[in-house]
A and B are shown apart, each in its own frame.
Chain A
Amino acid sequence: MDDNLRIWREFSFGDLFDLIMLDTRQYDRGITDVYWNTDYIHEISNDASRSLMGPRQESWFYRSLRDSSKRGAKWRVIGNQIIFSRMNESLALGAENPLNYDQWDGYQANRNRTFQTLYENNINNNIFLAGDSHASWVSDLVWLGEHDYDSKTGSGSIGVEFAGSAVSSPCPAGQNITHTAANLGSAWLTAANRELQWQDLYYRGYYEMSIGYDSLNASYFGIPTTRIKQGHEISLANFTVLAGENKLHRRSGGAVADVVESGSLKNGKMVQTNLTHDTATGEYLVYSP
């Protein structure tokens, strides 16, 4: 068979950014957690032989990062299927296998090689995008155990990861979870993971990114209910990455300008307003379930 399964590719947008799209699922990914082999995948998760992409895609990926930086593109945006940052989720997964080994956490050598490429070639302004987890996660991009990192200021980070929620797939902690319980879960997660600056479990939704030469902004939106057809959406949190800073821009202590609507923000406040934009009519209202 030829190479028709290849979907990994890259797009150059002038000198503003390069979009690198990975296939971390189908192309040449080593065995993942299929639920009955979790102990085994945990055991081998740090093996150098492990790859999410296969050697061919991996070398292309690292070359693309280097070339992008060399040609002077301001930002490198890396689209991939699964969460890149370490995520201790032992609250849900148990202490024995605390990480989700279906994410980059199960392929740590691949992640280390990526970090090594970024550091050795002094590649800046890296933005990772992810999905898969049915929840929202915003993190500084940190090579834990290799470089010092200050969770408060963000120094020691080499970029940012924005991971988005789901459109309709339920919350990983249960589809009928209350907002309070979801926020408690988020607070646990941001406390357990130094690099994780904001996390939300409750909302289905999406995020928008706008990219400029000076800064890159990400706006997260949540849909108050997916059970009825309506145009409602709630602004959840807004993040800024300044060019050259390689971390979430800190304002008033946290990674957002003021407060977040839902979830948990490290060193910041969550204030629930339920202020909802009805995109069908353009009106604003306070949503009540």
Chain B
Amino acid sequence: MLSISVTTFTSMEMGNTVGEIPSIEFPCLTDRSTRKSRLCRLWLNVEHCNFNYFSGSMTTASALLHIEQMRISWRVTRISLGFLSGMITVFNLFLRILNRIANFHSEVSDNTYRDGASELNNTEASFIKDGGISVDQRKMNAVRAYFEWSR
């Protein structure tokens, strides 16, 4: 339902000198409908993320990820290169999880119709299994998120 494309991010090349610190920016959707994490399952599109490199005095990298009902944010100052590489490992792990979620999504979207798909029917069982989000609501959020992205 939600189209999620995840670019696997496996080899982030880091600068060799200590002065170069990569800043990792994730786009955050802050609009009304997407902010309600309970109503939106997943709205991070890693493909749209910018992985920029800064040199010099840039000492803050902030990343904000919203995944399902989980919200992870961290703000790091004075990052050491070692810590940063650790962080990148964490990110890679995260992206692997994201990939799995995305794959899972493409699997459950088999045989779709107005009210759902093979693994996601508009039934109470499906509602419970899927964490309390109805198919209709998910669809509405997907449409809203799409127009918020493309605005």
* Residues of A participating in the B interface, judged by any CB pair closer than 8 Å: 1, 4-5, 25-35, 54, 102
- Interface pair A34/B114, CB less than 8 Å apart: no
Per the bound structure, the CA–CA distance linking A32 and B139 in Å amounts to 17
Which 3 pairs of residues, A with B, have the shortest CB-CB distance? A29-B113, A32-B113, A34-B118
Q: With A30-B113, A34-B117, A102-B111 given, name 14 new contacts (CB 8 A).
A: A4-B143, A4-B146, A5-B139, A25-B113, A26-B113, A28-B114, A29-B113, A31-B115, A32-B111, A32-B113, A34-B111, A34-B118, A34-B119, A54-B114
Residue in A27, A29, A30, A34 whose Cβ sees the most chain B Cβ within 10 Å: A34
A-side interface mostly: loop
Q: Which residues of the other chain, A, contact B139 by a CB distance below 8 angstroms?
A: 5, 26
- Interface pair A31/B113, CB less than 8 Å apart: yes
Q: Which residues of the other chain, A, contact B113 by a CB distance below 8 angstroms?
A: 25-26, 29-32
* Residues of B participating in the A interface, judged by any CB pair closer than 8 Å: 111-119, 121, 139-140, 143, 146-147
Q: Which residues of the other chain, A, contact B140 by a CB distance below 8 angstroms?
A: 1
**Residue ID in chain B nearest A1 by CB atoms:** B140
- Interface pair B118/A5, CB less than 8 Å apart: no
- Interface pair A29/B121, CB less than 8 Å apart: no
Per the bound structure, the CA–CA distance linking A258 and B118 in Å amounts to 42
B112 CB to nearest A CB, Å: 5
Q: Which residues of the other chain, A, contact B116 by a CB distance below 8 angstroms?
A: 34
Knowing A1-B143, A4-B147, A5-B143 touch, does A29 contact B114 (C-beta < 8 A)? yes
